[in-house]
Structure 1
């Protein structure tokens, strides 16, 4: 499949957005306890999965 440079730019931008979201969610989890921390770490996991999917598209 051929991807345009614009497509690649969008994927790279999405990758950076996910990196920022991951850092934010992880930092938030550090300041929480109990169920709230578990929920924040679940968000970390979901973001990591999305980032892995974008990584595969960029490869």
Structure 2
């Protein structure tokens, strides 16, 4: 019924989604928006296992 993905595929897909989202936020991120983006990045890295990704991503 549903397509099943592996853990590695899920992490890759989440990382790609966040990288695309960051492309739209980065040019206008400053002040509170920048702090919130950094906090969100920290949460995803720690809780979702994205700390293994490249430094230029996320």
TM-score range, shorter chain: 0.5 to 0.7
How many residues matched? 46
Unaligned ranges ≥5, structure 2: 54-58
**TM-score w.r.t. length of structure 2:** 0.53
- Structure 1 runs (4+) greater than 2 angstroms displaced: 46-53
Cα RMSD (Å): 2.4
Q: Which has the higher helix share?
A: 1
When the two structures are superposed, what TM-score results if normalisation uses the length of structure 1? 0.53
Query: Larger Rg: 1 or 2?
Result: 1
